[in-house]
Amino acid sequence: MRVLVTGGAGYIGSTVARRLVDAGHHVVVLDNLSQGHRAAVPAEAGFVEADLRHRDQVEHVLSDHRPEAIMHFASNTLVGESMEEPFLYLDDNVRCGINLMRSAVEYDVERFILSSTANLFGVPERIPLDEEVTIAPGSPYGESKFILERMLHWLDETHNLRFAALRYFNAAGAAGPDQGEDHDPETHLIPIVLEVALGQRDKIVIFGDDYDTPDGTCVRDYVHVLDLAEAHILALEALDDGSRVYNLGNGEGYSVREVIETARRVTGQEIPAEVGAPRPGDPATLIASSDKIRDELGWTPQYGDLEDIIGTAWAWHRRHPDGYNPAE
Ligand code: UDP
């Protein structure tokens, strides 16, 4: 299939692009390189540097490449940032999605996979979170993804655009020692902890230890980026049978302290930690129920173990301490 991957130079998008190429698909990556890295795009994939905020650029890519499926990763993705700069999300994220969906409809694309998020659920009414839990986005970020999910619902009704919304919990780990997570600035727990292990930072600051959890620190469901990639392949194959939404996690929660402890074991480093203020908007616990995608598509995560997840990330960080662009 010809697959357009927006944000295919980013962490999850590039991993999925690689997996698509390996499965024999013809991949074109669209990325503006504002956060992604050209070196992360698989050599076998086509690459177009374009910006989804400009509709003419999007149309150009669609008319040139005529994709049969679109996977839309390109996005602003930070809960905290969205509380400070809501229009990056309520405007940019939504506008980029609209531009892409308009072109998808115009060029008769029939399959669309959206990167969505556990932040749709804000402070959840029950744990684990299945797809029936009431949606009440926790931030402008979550809201922007919910808006895009609803748009896709209507484009399915009106234009037969089949879609899958895949709601990632905490994406983590590296696809290989030469393909991993490289954000600037880095805000995510596991890469920051590993930067401490590498001596690039003095310590990890734990954002609050007074939550209603066993050790007082936040509990999250970490899911390996290769397992997420597999879910995209399965969803793509299933789309002709109808649209669908899935929550993607391992169904197991680890506290911030457990992540740090595990990283100490994996790296053999001390990793100094201190407790700081809670981060606004962080719910105490987020754990997915992924029974639906397991039952319907046979998704079976291969990296359920936190040690494996952190181990793969550690291999990447050790080999590429400065990420993809050491010269920058
Ligand atoms: N966290 C932390 N210190 C950090 C970064 C993150 O204590 O320097 C915590 C954060 O409060 C959350 C968990 O680690 O409970 C995972 O955060 P991350 O930013 O990796 O992902 P999120 O849950 O925001 O998607």
Query: 2-172+222-248: which CATH topology?
Result: Rossmann fold (3.40.50)
Could you give the percent of the chain with pLDDT greater than 90?
Answer: 96
CA–centroid distance, 192 to ligand 1, in Å, is 9
Render pLDDT for 92-126 as a digit per residue (tens, 0 to 9).
999 999 999 999 999 999 999 999 999 999 888 89
Query: In angstroms, rounded to a whole number, what is the distance separating the alpha carbons of residues 226 and 28?
Result: 19
Q: What is the pLDDT, as a whole number, of residue 282?
A: 87
Measured CA angle at 16 (ends 240, 11), to 5 deg: 140
Residue 51: pLDDT band (50, 70, 90) is: very high
Selecting among 11, 141, 168, 222, the annotated active-site residue is 141
Query: In angstroms, rounded to a whole number, what is the distance separating the alpha carbons of residues 249 and 241?
Result: 23
Domain locations in the chain as residue ranges: 2-172+222-248, 189-220+251-319
Residue 328: pLDDT band (50, 70, 90) is: very low
Asked if 174 and 313 touch (Cβ cutoff 8 Å), the reply is yes
- The model carries a pTM of 0.97
Task: Kindly report the CATH number that applies to the domain delimited by 189-220+251-319.
Answer: 3.90.25.10
Which stretch of 24-33, 66-75, 281-290 has the lowest confidence by average pLDDT? 281-290
* 141 labelled catalytic: yes
Would the pLDDT of 166 be above 70?
A: yes
Q: What is the pLDDT, as a whole number, of residue 325?
A: 77
Ligand 1 and 165: CB distance under 6 A: no
| Number of Cα atoms under 13 Å in the Cβ half of residue 290 | 28
Residue keyed to tokens 């999300």: 89
Give the residue from 139, 55, 141, 145 showing the smallest Cα distance to 96. 55
Query: In angstroms, rounded to a whole number, what is the distance separating the alpha carbons of residues 189 and 192?
Result: 5
Give the residue from 167, 205, 165, 161 showing the smallest Cα distance to 186. 205
Would the pLDDT of 241 be above 90?
A: yes
Residue 327: pLDDT band (50, 70, 90) is: low
Asked if 267 and 191 touch (Cβ cutoff 8 Å), the reply is no
Which residue among 77, 194, 279, 286 is best mutated to probe the pocket of ligand 1, counting the most ligand atoms within 8 A of its Cβ?
A: 279
Looking at ligand 1, which atom is closest to the CA of residue 256? Answer: 14
Backbone angles phi and psi of 187, in degrees to 5 = -125, -10
DSSP H/E element including 100: helix 94-106
